[in-house]
Amino acid sequence: MENSAPAGRYDMIVKSSEILTPSGRVDGQIAIIGERIVGILARDAVATATQVVDAGRRPVIPGLIDTHCHFRDPGYTHKEDYYHGTVAAAAGGVTTVFDMPNVDPPTTTAERLRAHLENAQSKAVVDFGHNASGVVPENIAELAEAGATAFKVWMMQDIGRDYPHPPGTSVTNHAVLYRIFEAVAETGLPLYIHPHDHDLYALFVERARAQWGTDFRSYARALRGGDGVVLNTAIASILEFQRSTGARLHVLHLSTRDGVRMVREAKAQGRPVTAEANPFAMFVTNDWEKIERKGPYSLGFWVPAEDNPAMWQAIEDGTIDVIGSDHGPHTREEKEVGWTDMYTAPGGSPFIEQYLRLMLTEVNKGHLTLERVVELCCSGPAKLTGYDGQKGSITIGADADLVVLDMEHEEVLHADASHYRCGWMPSEDFLATGRPAMTILRGKVIMVDGEVSAEAGSGRLLTPASRRSRVGA
């Protein structure tokens, strides 16, 4: 057991027989002073505190870190806003979020980034940062200085619609993309790429429309035309750009068997390449029956049966480093169009409040360990963003971001019990076993049994200075 503070009175003690620390499971007590963990104490250690949380046999894990959120704020707040999105995060055991730049205006300049962060600060109920738009190579250095956590680029533009991939977030020219890799490499920050060969996709969209029309089934099949060639050629290109420039590449939406193979090979060479999977691909769109039943409310994109085992193997064996929710709400009215013309309806679905529940369900089924869930949802994202030591682990000196789990709780999920402003979710009617029963942010309880008590603006911006002071970045 460890203790960096003298024995005595603490601000909070969290007791559990199953505390998941980096060195293993501990039957003991987490001692907190102020906002940080100051000790991991033995079960029988004498300690008093202003507030004691006795979780009994319920496991305690670090607060989740979601590196891939679309809160639609500013510009699209009829879909959601930063307040509602982070309340849903807190209800789902997520204590840190990093949102994406497909907002209006997109965060392509330092001035826009500062305004975006100021807006987020006024509304957030959990801690946060932002993945800035990296589409203008000349602006990347100043964006890094202004506080970007990472950079995001979509290798596509919308066909038949203007959102969620609007101008200001996308690059289809490889020469420009290569310059972006060079510029981001200079900052040392990660570059998140949505891999997508835009010209090939246009070809397969044309073919899908001719063969199947414009409904959600056609839309799902178009992206996987040519056995995943739209995704695989893009992954091959960005891995080569990474090799050439040395940039820290984070491959989003990894779900093809050849994409997994290429990423695994790059990692085996010791290159700074990480990868992400998404809960919609793990639990919804990897089942054609669910796509047929939920239609536009499932998409996203389809993961065919021949690719699903490779994606799950990568999740289990560490090829995939991070689970990002890709939380992407839209209104029902916007989605309904997709029953007949999904090409004009927006993709994306809300998931930030439920994905831990579905991961815990897999733990209860024996498909994943709770330790692996912590790696994918807590410590892996902390390492990716540079905040390991501060976030994502139950260690002395870290922020006291904790989640108490009820692994026995069974519930059929319904959107009317969620905090989503859009009022629907793709995991409707799913049976989940396991849930976050309590969320603690920096030593303060902000959620109990689904009720969030945190106030707008109580979340805190994670700054580059904080990252440097913690991990020497």
Using pLDDT thresholds of 50, 70 and 90, give the confidence band for residue 157: confident
Predicted pLDDT of residue 473: 33
Inter-residue contact 339 to 217 (CB < 8 Å) = no
pLDDT at 471 > cutoff 50: no
Same structural domain, 91 and 218: yes
Predicted pLDDT of residue 221: 98
Same structural domain, 30 and 162: no
**In 92-133, which ranges are continuous DSSP H helix?**
110-123
Which segments within 257-401 are labelled E, that is strand? 273-277, 322-323
Inter-residue contact 99 to 131 (CB < 8 Å) = yes
Same structural domain, 356 and 403: no
Q: What is the pTM of this model?
A: 0.97
Inter-residue contact 251 to 276 (CB < 8 Å) = yes
| Burial environment of residue 233 by CB neighbours within 10 A (0 to 12, 13 to 18, 19 or more) | middle
For the chain, the domain total comes to 2
CATH number of the domain encompassing residue 168:
3.20.20.140
Q: Cα–Cα distances in Å, from 443 out to 63, 280, 310, 316, 379?
A: 11, 31, 39, 31, 19
Inter-residue contact 66 to 126 (CB < 8 Å) = no
Which candidate, 42, 28, 35, places its Cα nearest to that of 10?
35
pLDDT per residue as tens digits for the range 343-386: 999 999 999 999 999 999 999 999 999 999 999 999 999 999 99
Same structural domain, 9 and 79: no
Same structural domain, 226 and 86: yes
CATH number of the domain encompassing residue 9:
2.30.40.10
Same structural domain, 270 and 181: yes
Is 118 within the bounds of a domain? yes
Provide the Cα torsion 83, 84, 87, 92; round to 10°: -140
CA angle 117, 122, 124 (to 5 degrees): 80
Same structural domain, 41 and 149: no
Using pLDDT thresholds of 50, 70 and 90, give the confidence band for residue 464: confident
Is 352 within the bounds of a domain? yes
pLDDT per residue as tens digits for the range 394-448: 999 999 999 999 999 999 999 999 999 999 999 999 999 999 999 999 999 999 9
Q: Rounded to whole angstroms, how far apart are CA atoms 421 and 410?
A: 24
Is 297 within the bounds of a domain? yes
Same structural domain, 105 and 173: yes
Is 283 within the bounds of a domain? yes
Q: Residue 21 belongs to what H/E stretch?
A: strand 9-21
pLDDT per residue as tens digits for the range 288-340: 999 999 999 999 999 999 999 999 999 999 999 999 999 999 999 999 999 99
CA angle 56, 58, 62 (to 5 degrees): 120
Which candidate, 8, 6, 26, 24, places its Cα nearest to that of 16?
26
Inter-residue contact 282 to 358 (CB < 8 Å) = yes
Predicted pLDDT of residue 6: 56
Is 422 within the bounds of a domain? no
Q: Rounded to whole angstroms, how far apart are CA atoms 175 and 259?
A: 22
pLDDT per residue as tens digits for the range 169-215: 999 999 999 999 999 999 999 999 999 999 999 999 999 999 999 99
Same structural domain, 44 and 148: no
Contacts of 212 (CB under 8 A, 6+ apart): 218, 221
Is 417 within the bounds of a domain? no
Q: Rounded to whole angstroms, how far apart are CA atoms 258 and 237?
A: 13
Is 421 within the bounds of a domain? no
Q: Rounded to whole angstroms, how far apart are CA atoms 408 and 357?
A: 11
Same structural domain, 49 and 100: no
Same structural domain, 37 and 74: no
Domain range for residue 100? 63-385
How many other CB atoms are there within 10 angstroms of residue 299's CB atom?
Answer: 26
Is 313 within the bounds of a domain? yes
Using pLDDT thresholds of 50, 70 and 90, give the confidence band for residue 168: confident
Same structural domain, 6 and 105: no
